[in-house]
Structure 1
């Protein structure tokens, strides 16, 4: 947002010079459109900043077991809906065997995206034999995201020290009154 602000200030100064200084009136032909364009960019950057996404990565293979330890797609859908209701933009990462556990066959990113009603670029199924944990943790780091999972990722704590940050991990599950997510809002979480 700094670059559009600088452009706007420079073009506004050019407009002022074109209006106030004799012989500089032709500068209005360049400074005027530049001021309008930079003002548009400045307003757009401000509006986009207000809609900044609060990413959250679901550990799909963990979350799908939250209700009675049985893998269920409905659990994932409900957690996704709750995350959206809390103003989060969710993505999901699965182990390669997630489709087998839920549907009795392999399901790729596109298939899971369709099942969950998410854009394809927000779902990832890791390759067979590859643990999903480092992919989840790297995506969270890259996006500045929190993680929804009951996994503590202890094996990865040395490589991902941000896991120790309060509120980085959002735990959840089911009680008699339904789904709960500990977003950390009451304990100073983000």
Structure 2
């Protein structure tokens, strides 16, 4: 007789746990996209502005992308007159440290950016055409590999395809 209430309690607890489970994550990973931070931060036209990069990153995240941002080593000097590492930039951008890369001093970020894009098969948000790199990275010329954009009325406008720009 004592066993029946214990079994009933166990069944109720299991049922309750089943209904409280968090939804499972999506089975397919989010598509990856890279941002040329050193290019995008100039889209507003008033010098370097990390708010532009943050807006682009957040807009892409809101659209379901896994975002990575790559900067030239001098990014901090353009913003604050001092070096900024990945952790500092991540804090400013509201991203995780592992989503940011700063190229080593004296090495342009372009090579790292294009190699990462190749390795991840990811498009790159930039207005750069990487003409100096096309022999090493011919995929730059492929449709959809480079996503161009503008800054209009305080918001990014991205040309995700040949169609109308998206925010």
Pairwise CA RMSD: 1.9
Give 1:65 shift: 0.3
Structure 2 segments unaligned to the other structure (5+ residues): 1-23
Q: For the residues of structure 2 that align with 1:157 and 1:50, how far apart are their CA atoms?
A: 35
Counterparts of 1:22-171 in structure 2, within 5 Å, are 50-171=27-148
Which structure has more relative contact order (CA 8 Å, sep 6+)? It is: 2
Q: For the residues of structure 2 that align with 1:100 and 1:177, how far apart are their CA atoms?
A: 24
Give 1:48 shift: 6.7
Change (3 A) 1:109 1:176: closer
Structure 1 runs (4+) deviating above 4 angstroms are: none
Q: For the residues of structure 2 that align with 1:77 and 1:157, how far apart are their CA atoms?
A: 28
Structure 1 segments unaligned to the other structure (5+ residues): 1-46
Change (3 A) 1:113 1:178: closer
Q: For the residues of structure 2 that align with 1:76 and 1:56, how far apart are their CA atoms?
A: 13
Q: For the residues of structure 2 that align with 1:177 and 1:116, how far apart are their CA atoms?
A: 16
The structure whose Rg is larger is 1
The TM-score, its normalising length taken from structure 1, stands at 0.69
Query: Which has more helix, going by share of residues?
Result: 1
Q: For the residues of structure 2 that align with 1:185 and 1:49, how far apart are their CA atoms?
A: 29
Q: For the residues of structure 2 that align with 1:142 and 1:69, how far apart are their CA atoms?
A: 33
